[in-house]
């Protein structure tokens, strides 16, 4: 796979390119990876008692108490979650980028010219410097050849197959097992209290939909993400949707409220993120007149996960930290607040 | 309001323009307009016994019978409905166009220049010939000034207020009462059998979302339609989504499978439409490998509603009629199959 050094370089390019190319994170359709231990009524068993846990519980109690001013009827209980770094690990590189690099290797036999052409040559030869040297333009080429041209059904199949065998480069577990147990419990707890949970990710929507229902309990129609344009076509009587090399939505930063509006059509009352890419989603959600809730997962646990914020190329978190206090957002201290990070290994 | 003659002219332009401008049909947030008399188990009480009713009941029984080859698990029971002419009346002009014309009158005091400028002058003076003479370009101007520039919250409010007072030009009832009782029963019946029901309309999504939950039981996040681009902006600390004068999706014809893919992310198993604008949605839905169902509402009832198909500028239906048989789609003969058209008047 990719070394951490190269990963950071590529992701630095990608974080920029992400504004124009398709997306980020990825995943699986493999053996059921995750068991959420939270049952309705349990509260949040993997959370240590503290201000973050109490803020979540208090908010949910407040909006579900009928006959009070803060009561929110179930249809309006919309909660949105970022994916990379909020629901699953995003280090050392976005999963979707790992997918793209592996995909180049898988497609190489059909592209003999790649042996002579950067950045593909570098990927195939494990020459990380060459890949990094190709920069943002090289990254866009990688994304284009690995993410477009096929049909939506074909792409979903490729994603599922890859996630069925790929392993995290340092932890060695399938990516879909590297989801945050405490956040799975939040999802379950909210749904048990009448919330509809949506994912709103900068990552590619078609990269998430094949597995979010199994892993998070979030069905495809509740997943919003960056997306390529697709085109309806009928060949020999068989209709398909073809993925074009053009961006339809960059669901990041100010694009997140736009994606939310396009798909959900009303303002959420709770938003969960981890980086400044989620800032506008949190701002939009917590500017509503009625009750609302915003939460940032702060990666503070270098021992059990990763510790990063302002200086990180992945999941940069600066403005969110600066303004969380005055905006009333809850900041999770991963090291303090979470008893466990990932679900128990099967 | 607009005479039928003018209506047809404008809509002819609009049907073309629709490929580029925002949308079509519209509605309300007014007094609860509709009572669906169908209860789970009732079947479809406003449907006469016949091949159409039996086809619906048979399909639902087939996919809900556990342990059989045709069983479809509830999460995959996705049903999509066109709106104009499928769930509510679209004659003599699309409701959204009636809204646009009324909106010009409401905005006129802020635009003294309109007294001298077509097509606005014609609308304000009731000079239908002048409006019609402005053609497609005039129509696009009308749509631009009535549908863009404000925020999404403002637009929703305007739509709701208009529908609270507007009446159908010939029937004299609020538009949201001119929904088809037999189709309300289909919506209810499907939901009672574990289906998730979506609207997929060529009309503007923001024109429908304010009222579809109340009238159809379809929440905003299950409404797909044509849409303007929106932009996130923060002024004096207050975020809003502004509606721009640019089209983001034309959810008609081959745009319907695209809209379905963007929002739902999986292929429906049942599709209901009435015009050739729904052809690709029906084709996409009924090309799936598993069980599937397609239905066309054929407007055959000149006495109780309208009778139109191939020659109509609104709701043109030709290819659908030609190919329904070979594609196994059910065609509803409104005059024969429906006991009533609209819900009882309150």
- Amino acid B180: pLDDT: 98
**Does B75 sit within 8 Å of A264, measured CB to CB?**
no
- Amino acid B26: pLDDT: 30
Mean pLDDT across chain A: 88
What is the Cα–Cα distance from B22 to B248, expressed in whole angstroms?
8
Residue A98 predicted with pLDDT over 90: yes
Distance from CA of A197 to the nearest CA of B (A): 12
Share of chain A above pLDDT 90, in %: 81
Q: Which of A75, A206, A280 sits opposite B219 (nearest CB)?
A: A75
Indicate which of A207, A262, A284, A286 best probes the interface with B, i.e. most B CBs within 10 Å of its own CB.
A262
Share of chain B above pLDDT 70, in %: 88
Task: Judge residue A307's burial from the number of C-beta atoms within 10 Å of its C-beta, 0-12 exposed, 13-18 middle, 19 or more buried.
Answer: middle
* A vs B: CB pairs below 8 A: 87
Residue B264 predicted with pLDDT over 60: yes
Range in A27-41, A65-79, A235-249 with the lowest mean pLDDT: A27-41
Helices (H), B134-278: 135-147, 152-165, 181-192, 205-208, 212-216, 255-263
Residue B50 predicted with pLDDT over 90: yes
**Does B239 sit within 8 Å of A209, measured CB to CB?**
no
CA-closest candidate to residue A145, choices A116, A120, A115:
A120
Q: What angle do CA B135, B138, B140 make, to 5 degrees?
A: 110
Q: Are A309 and A298 in contact (CB under 8 A)?
A: yes
Return the residue of B nearest to A208 by Cα. Answer: B265
Residue B186 predicted with pLDDT over 50: yes
Average pLDDT over residues B282-287: 98
Residue B27 predicted with pLDDT over 80: no
φ, ψ for residue A277, nearest 5 deg: -65, -20
Residue with tokens 């999509």: B80
What is the Cα–Cα distance from B82 to B259, expressed in whole angstroms?
12
What is the Cα–Cα distance from A183 to A345, expressed in whole angstroms?
17
CA-closest candidate to residue B255, choices B274, B272, B279:
B279
- All residues at 6 or more sequence positions from A322 whose CB lies less than 8 Å from its CB, including other chains: none
- Rounded-to-5 percentages of helix, strand, coil across chain B: 45, 20, 40
Residue B37 predicted with pLDDT over 70: no
CB count in 10 Å sphere of residue A189: 24
Residue B5 predicted with pLDDT over 80: no
Residue A317 predicted with pLDDT over 70: yes
| Segment (H or E) for B94 | none
Pairing of strands A196-204, A223-235: parallel
Chain B contact set for A262 (CB, 8 A): 227, 230, 248, 262-263
Range in A301-310, B39-48, B323-332 with the lowest mean pLDDT: B39-48
**Chain B contacts to A (CB-CB under 8 A):** 75, 78, 152, 196, 205-206, 209, 213, 219-223, 227, 230-232, 234, 238-239, 241, 248, 254-255, 257-258, 261-266, 280, 283-284, 287
What is the Cα–Cα distance from B269 to B257, expressed in whole angstroms?
13
Residue A19 predicted with pLDDT over 60: no
Chain B contact set for A280 (CB, 8 A): 232, 239
Per-residue confidence band for B346, with pLDDT thresholds at 50, 70 and 90: low
Per-residue confidence band for A345, with pLDDT thresholds at 50, 70 and 90: confident
- Amino acid B42: pLDDT: 63
Q: Which of A206, A221, A230 sits opposite B264 (nearest CB)?
A: A221
- Amino acid A346: pLDDT: 64
What is the Cα–Cα distance from B28 to B212, expressed in whole angstroms?
8
Return the residue of A nearest to B229 by Cα. Answer: A258
Chain A contact set for B235 (CB, 8 A): none
Average pLDDT over residues B14-40: 34
Q: Which of A206, A222, A261 sits opposite B241 (nearest CB)?
A: A261
Distance from CA of A136 to the nearest CA of B (A): 26
Indicate which of A22, A150, A207, A221 best probes the interface with B, i.e. most B CBs within 10 Å of its own CB.
A221
Distance from CA of B72 to the nearest CA of A (A): 15
In the structure encoding, which two tokens stand for residue A244, read together? 């074009």
| Segment (H or E) for B283 | helix B279-285
């Amino acid at each position: 796979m990719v070394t951490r050094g190269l990963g950071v370089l590529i992701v630095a390019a990608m974080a920029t390119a992400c504004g124009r190319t398709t997306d980020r994170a990825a995943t699986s359709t493999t053996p059921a990876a995750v068991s959420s231990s939270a049952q309705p009524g349990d509260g949040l068993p993997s959370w240590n008692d503290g201000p973050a846990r109490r803020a979540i519980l208090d908010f949910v109690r407040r909006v579900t108490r009928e006959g009070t001013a803060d009561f929110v009827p179930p249809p309006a209980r919309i909660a949105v979650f970022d994916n990379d770094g909020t629901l699953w690990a995003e280090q050392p590189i976005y999963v979707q980028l790992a997918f793209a690099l592996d995909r180049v290797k898988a497609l190489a036999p059909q592209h003999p010219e790649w042996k002579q052409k950067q950045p593909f040559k570098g990927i195939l030869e494990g020459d990380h410097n060459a890949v990094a040297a190709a920069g943002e333009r090289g990254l866009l080429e990688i994304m284009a050849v690995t993410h477009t041209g096929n049909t939506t059904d074909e792409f979903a199949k490729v994603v599922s197959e890859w996630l069925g065998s790929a392993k995290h480069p340092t932890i060695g577990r399938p990516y879909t097992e590297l989801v945050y147990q405490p956040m799975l419990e939040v999802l379950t707890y909210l749904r048990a209290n009448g919330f509809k949970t949506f994912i709103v990710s900068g990552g590619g929507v078609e990269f998430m939909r094949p597995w979010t229902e199994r892993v998070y309990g979030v069905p495809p129609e509740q997943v919003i993400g960056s997306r390529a344009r697709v085109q309806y076509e009928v060949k020999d009587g068989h209709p398909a949707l073809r993925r074009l090399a053009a961006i339809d939505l960059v669901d990041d930063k100010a694009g997140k409220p736009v994606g939310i509006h396009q798909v959900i059509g009303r303002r959420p009352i709770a938003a969960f993120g981890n980086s400044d890419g989620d800032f506008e989603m949190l701002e939009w959600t917590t500017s509503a007149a009625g009750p609302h809730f915003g939460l940032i997962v702060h990666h503070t646990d270098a021992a059990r996960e990763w510790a990063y914020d302002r200086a990180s190329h992945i999941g940069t978190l600066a403005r969110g930290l600066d303004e969380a206090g005055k905006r009333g957002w809850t900041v999770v201290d991963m090291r303090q607040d979470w008893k466990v990070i990932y679900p128990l290994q099967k």
